[in-house]
Amino acid sequence: MKALVLERQGELSLRDIDLPSDMGPTDVRIKLHTVGVCGSDVHYYTHGKIGDFVVTAPMVLGHEASGTVIEVGAAVTTLKAGDRVCMEPGVPDLTSRTSRLGLYNVDPAVTFWATPPVHGVLCGECVHPAAFTFKLPDTVSFAEGAMVEPFAVGMQAAKRAQIAPGDTAVVLGAGTIGIMTALAALAGGCARVLISDLSAEKLAIAERYDGITGIDIRQTPIVDAVAEVTAGWGADVVFECSGAQAAMTDLFRIVRPGGAIVFVGLPPDPVAIDISAATARECRMETVFRYANVFDRALDLIAAGKVDLTPLLSDTYPFDASIEAFDRAAEGRPSDVKLQIRVDTESEAP
* Binding residues for ligand NAD (CB under 6 A): 39, 153, 172-178, 196-199, 202, 217, 241-244, 246-247, 264-266, 288-290
CB closer to Zn ion, 145 vs 214: 145
Pairwise CA distance, residues 284 & 261, whole Å: 6
Q: How far is the CB of 37 from Zn ion (least distance, A)?
A: 9
Cα 189 from chain centroid?
A: 20
Q: Work out how close the CB of 242 gets to ligand NAD at its nearest, in angstroms, rounded to a whole number.
A: 4
Q: Which does 182 bind (CB under 5 to 8 A by kind): Zn ion, ligand NAD, none?
A: none
Contact 48, 8 (CB under 8 A): yes
> CB-wise, 177 or 193, nearer to ligand NAD?
177
Helix or strand holding residue 213 (H, E): strand 212-216
Residues 6 or more apart whose Cβ sits within 8 Å of residue 338:
36, 37, 147, 150, 176, 312, 313, 314
Smallest gap from Cβ 149 to Zn ion, in A, equals 5
Backbone angles phi, psi at 168, to 5 degrees: -105, 125
- Residue 153 binds which of Zn ion, ligand NAD, none (CB < 5-8 A, kind-dependent): ligand NAD
259 Cβ neighbours under 8 A, 6+ residues apart:
234, 235, 236, 237, 238, 281, 283, 284
Closest to Zn ion by CB, 119 vs 256, is 119
C-alpha pair distances (Å), 232 with each of 36, 178, 255: 40, 24, 10
Residue 107 binds which of Zn ion, ligand NAD, none (CB < 5-8 A, kind-dependent): none
Q: Given candidates 5, 38, 237, 288, which one binds Zn ion under the rule CB under 5 A?
A: 38
- The closest of 138, 124, 152 to 19, measured between CA atoms, is 124
Q: What single DSSP character describes residue 14?
A: E
Among all residues, whose Cβ is closest to ligand NAD? 175
**Least distance (Å) from Zn ion to the CB of residue 38?**
3
Residues 6+ apart with CB under 8 A from 228: none
Instruction: List the single partner that 288 binds among Zn ion, ligand NAD, none, CB under 5 to 8 Å by kind.
Output: ligand NAD
Q: Which is nearer to ligand NAD, 192 or 202 (CB)?
A: 202
- CB burial of 300-316 (b: ≥16 within 10 Å; e: otherwise) equals ebbeeeebebeebbbeb
d(CA 60, CA 57): 10
Q: How far is the CB of 180 from ligand NAD (least distance, A)?
A: 8
> In the complex with ligand NAD, which residue's Cβ is closer, 69 or 187?
187
Measured CA to CA in angstroms, residue 10 lies from 42, 45, 327 at distances of 10, 5, 10
Minimum separation from the CB atom of position 72 to ligand NAD (A):
30
Q: Which does 176 bind (CB under 5 to 8 A by kind): Zn ion, ligand NAD, none?
A: ligand NAD
* CB 264 to ligand NAD: min, Å: 5
Residue 255 contact partner, candidates Zn ion, ligand NAD, none, CB within 5 to 8 A by sort of partner = none
The contact pattern for Zn ion, residues 233-272, with x = CB under 5 A and - = no contact, is ----------------------------------------
User: For binding to Zn ion (CB under 5 A), which residues are involved?
Assistant: 38
